Amino acid sequence: MQLPDSFYGSRKLVDIVENQTTYELKDSAMHIFETHAKAELVQLQFGSPVLASMLQGKKIMHLSNKQSFDFLPGESLILPSNELMSIDFPDSSKNTPTRCLALEIGEDRIKKVVQFMNEQMEKADGNEWRLMDYNFHFTNDPGLYKIIQRIVYLYAEKHPSKDFFVSNMMQELIVRILQANTRKTYNDHSKELSSTHRFAYIIEYIKQNLPQSLTVKELSEKAYMSESNFYKVFKQELGQSPIDFINQERIAKATDLLKDEECNLTDVFLSCGFKNRSYFNRMFKRINGTSPSQYQQRLKEEGLIN
């Protein structure tokens, strides 16, 4: 993610570790942190819920109720207010700084969006939307990536209406985060949730039948919903269409299979449920940013092929 030119014009480099540039609006604030030297166990805390999103470099995060993990570009993390983080910067240097965005969002704003979602966006089993699971670590999907990029630009822009612009974008950001949270919860726990959550059951069915032909009509029948309502509610609840979800799961399986040197590309795309090579290549590149053959070649060069 690229920072706007206006950021570089307004920042002041005071500290080499977690140098902070802050932009504040009515009920939110954006902080961009830069670290220009290796460091360990640097502590950071915010008084409001935070979306942290990596822009450049690598952090190792240590949180109170979660195992330490790498935090990399293209990934985000939701943190509750007053969460004390300890952070390592293993690769930071003067020429290759680590950069991270921290977006503070007022709890009242989050509650208002959740209320709006419960009024306007039905869930499949009548359950209500609730506040997001904190310490939720995820990879940004294209929609989230574009919103975060836009919000960074708006904060750094000198525009008299930027409070209004950011407010509108913030609502969409919260909605998409809650959808991503629901999608990940169902995906990670589909087997145990399948008896009580309709879409968890559908996701488990998809996982077990990836090599087969899967249609929205078939899935809607298994969910005991009309085809049109199933499509609408699935997208509302999980933030993506059933077909996009199926393709994402198929590409995730293909990505894993490509780690085995014995698997050729034809075997891979057929075993993942794709009917032709060109569509498989297109979906793989859209999701992973590279072609299947280039991905496998990179694995070989890095010694990661089994």
Residues 239-256: tens digit of each pLDDT: 999 999 999 999 999 999
Domain boundaries, the chain: 1-188, 189-306
Fold of the domain built from segment(s) 1-188: Jelly Rolls (2.60.120)
pLDDT one-digit tens code per residue, 182-222: 999 999 999 999 998 999 999 999 999 999 999 999 999 99
Angle between helices 227-238 and 242-257 (to 10 degrees): 60
**Yes or no: is domain 189-306 CATH 1.10.10.60?**
yes
pLDDT at 305 over 80: no
Q: What is the chain's length?
A: 306
| 99 sits in which H/E element | strand 98-105
Confidence of residue 236 (pLDDT cuts 50, 70, 90): very high
Question: For residue 270, what are the CA distances in angstroms to 117, 244, 277?
Answer: 39, 18, 9
**What are the pLDDT digits (tens) for 93-117?**
999 999 999 999 988 889 999 999 9
Lowest mean pLDDT among 165-169, 223-227, 234-238: 165-169
For residue 304, the model assigns a pLDDT of: 67
**Confidence at 302, pLDDT banded by 50, 70, 90:** confident
Rounded to two decimals, the pTM is 0.84
CA angle 24, 46, 165 (to 5 degrees): 30
Reported as a single tens digit per residue, the pLDDT across 61-90 is 999 877 899 999 999 999 999 999 999 999
Residue 306 has a pLDDT of 61
* 252 strand-pairing partners: none
181 close to 132: Cβ distance less than 8 angstroms: yes
Query: How does pLDDT run across 145-167, given as a tens digit for each residue?
Result: 999 999 999 988 888 898 889 98
Q: What share of the chain is helix, strand, coil (3-state, %, to 5)?
A: 45, 20, 35
135-153 average pLDDT score: 89
Q: Quote the pLDDT of residue 10.
A: 73
DSSP annotation of 157 reads S
Residues of the chain above pLDDT 90, percent: 63
Residue 281 in this model has a pLDDT that exceeds 80: yes
Letter string b/e over residues 185-220, b meaning 16 or more CB atoms within 10 A of that residue's CB? bbbeebeebbeebbbbbbbbbbeeebeeebebeebb
Q: Are 32 and 3 in contact (CB under 8 A)?
A: yes
Write the pLDDT tens digit of every residue in 18-68.
Answer: 999 999 988 789 999 999 999 999 999 999 999 999 999 999 999 987 789
